[in-house]
Amino acid sequence: EVQLQASGGGLVQPGGFLRLSCAASGLAFDAYTIGWFRQAPGKERVGVACISSGDGDTKYSDSVKGRFTISRNNAQNTVYLEMDSLKPEDTAQYYCAAVFDYSGRAYCPPSGMGYWGKGTLVTVSS
């Protein structure tokens, strides 16, 4: 059974830092592209960052580019999302998701992700 477990959310002040983790099991992790998505109250779920299988090519949404960093540790079946210079508008439930793709592309369409984990809540507020 494939499982994705997101963790690391919490309450942080504007300008602060958080690191989210996504631990995966039940899949050949290094053959999967992994994405982070977020959903704010009353809004649609949107992609935040994506990391490919293989060499770990990355892609970010314009709203987080330069502030967030996605990385992966294939030996530990874990993907990280480091979030710096956090803003109140970053407040959302954050989800990780996986899709089997050994092409090396950082392509994470929300409708195309095969597996989803439960979210972790990030609240940015003073």
Across the chain, which has 126 residues, the per-10-residue mean pLDDT values are 96 98 94 96 96 92 98 96 98 97 87 94 98
Phi, psi of 31 (to 5 degrees): -100, 5
pLDDT value at residue 41: 92
Question: What's the token pair of residue 63?
Answer: 């709203």
What is the sign of the dihedral through the CA atoms of 56, 8, 85 and 38?
Answer: positive
| Beta carbons of 43 and 94 less than 8 angstroms apart | no
pLDDT of residue 102: 77
Residue 115's beta-bridge partner residues? Answer: 98
**Which residue has 């963790």 as its token pair?**
7
